[in-house]
Chain A
Amino acid sequence: MNRHSSVAVTVCLLVTIVACNPGGGESGFRPMEPGKVLFWDRQTTETADLLRKMIDEFNTGREGPAVEAQYAGDYSDIFRKVRASIQARAVPDMAVAYQSMTSEYVRAGACLPLDPFMADPAAGLSSEELGDFFPVVLETNRLPQFGGKMYSFPFCKSVLMMYFNKRVLAEAGIQQAPATWDEFLEQCRQIKAKTGKSAYAVSVDASTIDGMVYSRGGDVIDGNTTLFDSPPAMDVFRLLETLAKEELAYQIPPGSADDKVAFSQDRVAFVFRSSSHRTNMTLLMEGNLDRWGIARLPQADPAKPTTVLYGPNICIFDTTPEQSRVAWDFVRFFTSRENTVRWALATGYVPIRKSAADHPEMKKFWDAWEYNRTAFDCLPFARSEPTCAGWQEVRGLIEDAETAVLSQLRSADEAARELKKAADAVLAAG
């Protein structure tokens, strides 16, 4: 490097170091667009229209700043956008977020704990009202690594379900969807033997593995160590290994809907997906509701069922006290009994309040098809997944292990042990 260039590079470096200061500059946050209570969401088409209609109803007749929903892309886009705005120290008032996203926002000091709002005598929630929410949908918003405070409020909730194709089951001479994992394997074998079809199209997903472990009475994490080498988790991988070896199951391309399509064309009998896929599945089935059904996951002990609860929440950012207050009022408005039912009916998510059960509209919907109620009935025993730092990375490892077993690159025992080791290392570092 000649003299000129070294001078130039040094000047550039100095300018940069003065110009940017990654760690410092901590002063509070400001609203991104002052005067508007911004809500960054990802709803599109019909559900976006309903959300905006509900926001209009909320704004009508209110004094002060109005809520405005802005489409901000899918979850990864929203995460990018919020992260960039946090570093610019100008944030929206609300955003949809998964717990892993929320915990990053909390780490940056941008998110408000909701406990003070909830306890507020005027604008809060009475204990009676709190008791109306299913405990798990609230608990999942408490972040243990941040003092167990509520940092978000449920927005769209769904549970992991098993979809079963009645025609394929009938072809194999099966009357009833499996209630236990043993029955599940038995039915898969029977389907293969009688029809030659693969029974289960696997969409590789860490949440499904978590749900399978839960439903075998196990858990995936204890403190800071994972439990993938525990008997319930090992059994999950062994089941997948058996399914792959005997060609009872096959993996679909990640991110595709091939499993649901194969299901709708009677090529497989089982698909494990969130309950929110019901509307989508109905479209694929072209409205025919006699050909299929939805059941809870097979269980180790049907007397003590479990499944996974998922879906995004809303978090509230630290903009101005006035705007944050409006944001909270909106969150409360949105999760009222009336509105949670309305939202559930239009979107396919489950209502998050117990009192939804005797809402006339909800009943009408449940009466329309016997399986419309199954997901709601799972809420009392559904469990949320871990939210600790590093879990997002662990999810990738779980999916690698699942793929390795399904493509017979690893044996179940190898995959589970390697997964445990790698995941523990991530959690120890995080």
Chain B
Amino acid sequence: MTRKALVYVVLSAGAVVTTFPFLWMLTTAFKTYAEAASPTVDLWPEVWQWQNLGETFRAAPFATYFANTFLVAAIVTSAVVVTAVTAGYAFARLEFPLRRVLFGLVLATMMVPFEVILIPNFVLIHRLDWYNTYAALTIPWCANAFSIFLMRQAFMGLPGDFFDAARVDGCGHLRFLAYVAAPLVKPMVVTVALFAFLGSYNSLIWPLIVTGTESRRVVQVGLTMFSGEAGVQFNLLMCASALVILPTVAVYFAAQRHFLESSLGAGIKG
């Protein structure tokens, strides 16, 4: 079992490298301003400044921000899962005219830099009278090429005889998709949901531009409050960043359970 031990050693070494910045962020969160600003890599604070937590919360109405963020992320995540599974399935398994053109156009939406699409989309939001609403925060992000593409690949990877077998049982596409195909690619569905959640959760510029009042703002906007004109309050920024990252880590921790079980094996047996 020396090979197994070696795998663990290498993985753990890698883990140290990947966690170090995160750890640094956590400890910086409880340093004094001067300590946090000085560019040394002293990990531990001289004295733990627990009051930073309170100061962080005083800087912005984070409770409102968190509530909004979760609401928006939940809507976007569920919508993206639906649009990605349905569209991904259509592109992978159905024959219809313009399929390649449509898929090309879907991919094309990934190819324009954000800076360029910002203004036309804002004008659109304004014409629809969605400024400062949840609709502006969610609807434009309810489908994305990345997720559709990922689901298409997942469905294409499924053995074709699965569908034929289902047809024999008198099962149409929709029921096949809902009862056979989607459960089989559950790891990919979870991945799509995870990245949809992260994408929505981490967006900053768009929410800042389409909202005005505190009641519609999200946590990432809260993180910008610590950057003043004469510099950044690193300790508070890191404190807030750590708080903001926690839910994403929790979501990932919960989601990754679904990568562990191979559902395809179960599908073949069942």
Which A residues form the contact surface with B (CB < 8 A)?
4-5, 8-9, 12, 20, 32-33, 38, 42, 44-45, 47, 70-74, 77, 80-81, 83-85, 87-88, 90, 156, 256-258, 260-261, 264-265, 274, 276-277, 279-280, 283-286, 348
Contacts and interface: CB of A to CB of B under 8 A. Distances in A.
A375 to B, nearest CB: 13
B208 A45 contact: no
Interface stretch (B66-74, B162-170, B223-231, B254-262): B223-231
B230 A279 contact: yes
B174 interface: no
A264 B126 contact: no
A422 B104 CA distance: 41
Contacts of A74: 224, 227
Nearest to A44: B225
A258 B205 contact: no
B221 interface: yes
A261 B101 contact: no
Closest 9 CB pairs of A and B: A88-B126, A84-B122, A280-B230, A5-B101, A44-B225, A277-B230, A88-B123, A257-B231, A70-B212
Given A70-B213, A77-B205, A81-B208, A4 B101 contact: yes
Contacts of A258: 39
B178 interface: no
B100 to A, nearest CB: 8
A47 B90 CA distance: 54
A216 B96 CA distance: 73
A32 B131 contact: yes
B63 interface: no
Nearest to B229: A276
A246 B208 CA distance: 47
B177 to A, nearest CB: 26
Contacts of A80: 118, 205, 209
Contacts of A73: 208, 221, 224
A80 B205 CA distance: 9
Nearest to A255: B232
Given A4-B101, A84-B119, A283 B33 contact: yes
A155 to B, nearest CB: 12
B212 A38 contact: yes
Given A8-B98, A32-B131, A286-B34, A90 B230 contact: no
Interface in B78-134: 97-98, 100-101, 104-105, 118-120, 122-123, 125-127, 131-132
A355 B32 CA distance: 38
A265 B38 contact: yes
B37 interface: yes
Given A8-B98, A33-B212, A284-B34, A88 B122 contact: yes
Contacts of B225: 44-45, 71
Given A32-B212, A70-B212, A73-B221, A348 B37 contact: no
Contacts of B122: 84-85, 87-88
Contacts of B232: 257
A280 B126 CA distance: 39
A276 B123 contact: no
Contact of B119 (A33, A83, A265): A83
Nearest to B211: A70
B59 interface: yes
22 contacts: A4-B98, A5-B98, A8-B101, A8-B105, A9-B101, A33-B212, A38-B212, A44-B225, A44-B226, A44-B227, A45-B59, A80-B209, A84-B123, A85-B122, A88-B126, A88-B127, A156-B229, A258-B39, A261-B37, A279-B230, A280-B230, A348-B230
